A and B are shown apart, each in its own frame.
Chain A
Amino acid sequence: MNALHPAARRAAVALRSYTLFALAWWALSAWVANPIQLPDPLRVARALATLFADGEIVEHASVSTARLLLSLVVATALAVPLGFLIGLSRRVEAYVDPLIELLRPISGIAWIPLALFIFGVGNTLPVFIMVYVAFFPLLLNTVAGVRGTDPKLLAAARTMGISRAATLRHVVVPSALPTVLVGLRLSFAGAWAAVVAAELIGAPSGLGFAIEWYRQLLMSPKVFAFIAVIGVVGFVCDALLRALQRRLTPWTEGQGS
């Protein structure tokens, strides 16, 4: 395989790994001989095809992604302005930071029972949990990004008599943006993990709900198929966010990836 291009060689190696993995899985399932506990890869592939064909995967995946998008938008709208405020003013930080540090260790998951009681089973619960989870990485990274603005640039802007608003817009925002985008990717990763938990416990739809639904029906191939879909959707969303990073901050190629 040495004659191949490095990327092609890596792809070939990856393909071989996946094949070996599938074979090991198949062997293990043959040994377990209990399709409810461990269905073989072929069955799972068939289940995946069926679920795709009757639109069930698309339906649940789009519900989950819609919730994800909504909560990322809400979390960004809340966290980024607050992050700028905290990053720009020591006074705001002195008052707000302790409250944030008090709340931050409480994981989003721990809010589920209380939120279930307040919002009930439905759309609001997963969105609330995801907004909460996505809020902190975005906020912390925005603050770090604002703080990390090169003092020399700020001094230069001041020397040239540029107004505060213009400095903010043309100096602070561009210099904080890469860090904010890294925060967005972290927020996404946390929120995507949380949505499965939230839907599993307290939503009537979505990927997390579907997995648990088919487990209760003991339809394991479909459980495995939906788990694979969660992985794929998560991977695709992260790739999209990376593309956004490259698009918005081309000067930081490769940072935080």
Chain B
Amino acid sequence: MSAAVTRSSNPEVAAGRVGPVPAARDRLAPWRALALPALLLVLWQLWALGLPADTRAPYPSKVASTLWALTASGDLPLALVQSLGRVMAGFACALVIGLLLGVPMGASAKLRDNLDPIIESFRPIAPMAVLPIAILWFGTGTPAAVFIVAYAAFFPLIVNTVHGVMNVPRRLLQAAHTMGVPRTRILLHVLLPASLPSVLLGARLGMGMAWTAIIAAELAVGAKSGGGTSGGIGQMMFVFYAYNVDLNAIVVCMGVVGLVALAIDRLFRAAERRLMPWKA
């Protein structure tokens, strides 16, 4: 069960934020950081200059002007709002179910033994694999997308919630019991703060999964229902692929998808620092 926990802690260590960075080189660091991306951008632009004027191939300056056009027309912001709305709705469902199931499962070994096999059986089934079922049940609109998001976010949430509640120091609970603290107060004032780091970690991972899943769901729904009917940024990408054949717009969408993923991650990390100052 702790796989998800290892999974998350490694990238943080690995992202190069450990170990002292030599202070003397700091002044040059931003330039070094920019060097490779900038070089690639320039090469990409130069490569595009050699292409015929009516080329479909994407290149940086065209991508930038497409980004501007899509933003100014309001298409991109609208699609973004639609996708984010679905992610929020699905994530909220997953959070409620994950906590309602995860807290009792973490507290009771009996319940855990009973439910764990079922949950672990579903875990290796990718969200995209259940998309066809979601389409059968809910059609190709928003509910199917919300279902997929909830499914994707559920597993990191429940696994980490169970792990967090399971590992609350027993001495804290016993001390509270001994002092005659009522059960609901123990839940709110002991169990919850003690398992918060794990739950938040699950929420961050779940939200990351949810964002990936919504793009996949919207793309596939677009691809399989044969039309841009339900909106969202994934759908928008599919329309640009299949109907308008505008690769610059696809690259714009990819960039936006990446930026949103980054923003979500930073937001959750900031929340972790804020809610758990003792962990910093």
Contact = CB atoms under 8 A, between A and B. Distances in A.
Nearest to B37: A99
B259 A105 contact: yes
A220 to B, nearest CB: 7
Contacts of A185: 3
A75 interface: no
Contacts of A101: 15
B250 A114 contact: yes
Contacts of B261: 105-107
Given A99-B36, A99-B40, A109 B215 contact: yes
A169 interface: no
A197 to B, nearest CB: 4
A192 B14 contact: no
Contacts of B124: 189, 192, 230-232, 234-235, 238
B126 A196 contact: yes
Q: Is the interface of A mostly helix, strand, loop or mixed?
A: helix
Interface in A136-191: 137, 139-141, 143-144, 147-148, 179, 182-183, 185-186, 189
B171 interface: no
A96 B237 CA distance: 29
A112 B128 contact: no
Interface in B59-117: 113-117
B121 interface: yes
A117 interface: yes
A180 to B, nearest CB: 11
Contacts of A227: 125, 129-130, 132-133
A238 B215 CA distance: 26
Contacts of A13: 113-114, 117
B119 to A, nearest CB: 10
B109 to A, nearest CB: 11
A95 B32 contact: yes
A53 interface: no
A113 to B, nearest CB: 4
Contact of B122 (A36, A207, A231): A231
B37 A114 contact: no
Given A105-B259, A109-B216, A212 B132 contact: yes
A52 interface: no
Contact of A223 (B11, B132, B220, B259): B132
B14 A215 contact: no
A140 B11 contact: yes
A120 to B, nearest CB: 12
Contact of A197 (B7, B34, B126, B133): B126
A21 B116 CA distance: 12
A197 B253 CA distance: 18
A46 interface: no
Interface string B213-254: 001100110011000000000100110110001010011011
Interface stretch (B16-24, B161-169, B192-200): B16-24
Contacts of A224: 133
Nearest to A212: B132
B220 to A, nearest CB: 6
B25 to A, nearest CB: 8
Contacts of B154: none
B147 interface: no
5 contacts: A113-B219, A113-B238, A113-B250, A140-B15, A193-B126
Interface of A: 10, 13-14, 16-18, 21, 36-37, 86, 90, 93-99, 101-103, 105-107, 109-114, 116-117, 137, 139-141, 143-144, 147-148, 179, 182-183, 185-186, 189, 192-194, 196-197, 200-201, 207-208, 211-212, 214-216, 220, 223-224, 227, 230-232, 234-235, 238, 255-257
Given A117-B247, A144-B10, A186-B10, 20 more contacts: A13-B113, A17-B114, A18-B117, A21-B118, A37-B137, A105-B262, A106-B254, A110-B254, A110-B258, A182-B6, A200-B220, A201-B219, A201-B220, A212-B132, A215-B132, A215-B135, A230-B125, A232-B124, A235-B121, A256-B2
